[in-house]
Amino acid sequence: MSTNAYAFDSSFPRHSTTSDMASSDTPGGGDLFFSDPFPFLFFNPTDVAAVHQIPNETASSCSLDPFSSSFFSFSPPSTHLENLSLYQQHLETEFGNFSGLDDGFKVVKSEELQTGGDYSNGNQNFVPQNNASENVHKSIQRSYSSSCFDGKPGFLLQPHHDTLIDSSNFHGQAMNSPENSQVRRVCSTGDLQNMESSTQTNQREGSFLEEANFKVGRYSAEERKEKISKYRAKRSQRNFNKTIKYACRKTLADNRPRIRGRFARNDETGENSKGSCSTRNEEEDEFWFEGMHEEQEQMMTWRMMSGGGEYMNSYGSDPLHQHQFQYRSF
DNA sequence: AAAACTCCGCTGACCACATTATCAG
DNA sequence: TTCTGATAATGTGGTCAGCGGAGTT
């Protein structure tokens, strides 16, 4: 089975700080999906083509991939730009080089990940299996798994339909809630009917966008194009020349356990992982999925299959973390 | 027109600790 | 001058609080 999903390889050097990536580089400056003024901008063929300067057909065939969409849309905030980069690399890998980002992220094709579920035809029968999970989570940059996921084993394994915004539902709802002004998880709940037709919806989206008044989120095609070009201009000015004086320090920092983005004591890590799961070291990562109780797996599976919009909320008793995973229903 | 409010983009502080730099003996 | 040990300073990245400008009411 070929999923074309991508994961991160933490061993591959990055060249930008988080603020570089998350704030300055995403279109609009914020988190692509959390406070992005044009959510899901890059997940329709037209926009992919616009951003990457490739033919629509090419972008179209890329953006239809269900699993990659799922993966990207559920990435934690600071990874969105990385996702964007990865997406570009995805395109490059599949269709050869074209001008675009030079972030230099190593891409791990998850064809190699051997995901065990059946989600052909875009159905929602995908059931996470351990071998797939292992490979996937090993590929995730560690910090993501620590402070962002908080032991959310289903993170990578959510149904792909979540990436797709049903504009009629989404419009005017997602972005204007005050309680979500800082962090917005802009996801469709993906009720079953919508899930069924998500792929087709995605296919149609490209052509719809050509219509002048079609809107995705708050922006018309016209506005989106404008913002994309603005973003591209800004992106071209990005500074990737941040020099790492000491590679060893970088390696250490990369591998250092974190709690909410801050470096944490090594001994703290073990304690916290038992409680809040806010950090996770290498060994713990190994058991991230494996250690999940069968019960939890079943519940997760059920929630995914039912397109449940609430399962993200079941994680993280820590209120400080909860808002990061607020899952919006439309 | 002014005030109050909300939203958005962005910046920088914070953290632990291995490595590096500096200094005294 | 060179070596050794002790101490101080540095640098690394993800997250989030909060600021200020822009837009809205």
> How far apart are alpha carbons A52 and A87 in whole angstroms?
10
Tens-digit pLDDT profile for residues A62-77? 333 323 333 333 333 3
The pLDDT score that the predictor gives to residue A241 is: 52
Kindly indicate the confidence band of residue A229, based on its pLDDT and cuts at 50, 70 and 90.
low
Highest mean pLDDT among A71-85, A185-199, A213-227, A294-308: A213-227
Q: Are A198 and A160 in contact (CB under 8 A)?
A: yes
A266 CA to B23 C1', in Å?
30
Footprint on protein of nucleic strand B, Cβ below 7 A = A 18-19, 22-24, 26, 28-30, 35-37, 175-178, 181, 234, 246, 248-249, 252-253, 256, 258, 261-267
Q: Which pair of structure tokens corresponds to residue A298?
A: 């079943």
More confident call, A140 vs A217: A217
Q: Which pair of structure tokens corresponds to residue A287?
A: 């058991």
- Kindly give, in sequence order, each residue whose CB lies less than 8 Å from that of residue A328, ignoring residues fewer than 6 positions away: A173, A174, A177, A180, A184, A185, A186, A187, A189, A309
Tens-digit pLDDT profile for residues A12-37? 223 333 333 333 333 222 223 223 32
Kindly indicate the confidence band of residue A230, based on its pLDDT and cuts at 50, 70 and 90.
low
Average pLDDT over residues A284-304: 33
> How far apart are alpha carbons A298 and A313 in whole angstroms?
17
Q: Which positions in strand B are less than 7 Å from the protein's CB atoms?
A: 6-20
Q: Which pair of structure tokens corresponds to residue A97?
A: 């080089």
Q: How many helices (H) and strands (E) does chain A have?
A: 16, 6
Is the whole-model pTM more than 0.85? no
Kindly indicate the confidence band of residue A220, based on its pLDDT and cuts at 50, 70 and 90.
low
CA A221 from chain center: how many Å? 23
Average pLDDT over residues A324-330: 28
The pLDDT score that the predictor gives to residue A249 is: 85
How much is the mean pLDDT over chain A?
A: 38
CA distances from A269 to A18, A140, A152, A291 (A): 22, 18, 17, 17
A267 CA to C2 C1', in Å?
40
C11 C1': nearest CA residue? A249
The pLDDT score that the predictor gives to residue A222 is: 59
Average pLDDT over residues A281-291: 33
Query: What is the nearest nucleotide to A26, using C1' and CA?
Result: B9
Q: Which pair of structure tokens corresponds to residue A82?
A: 């990385």
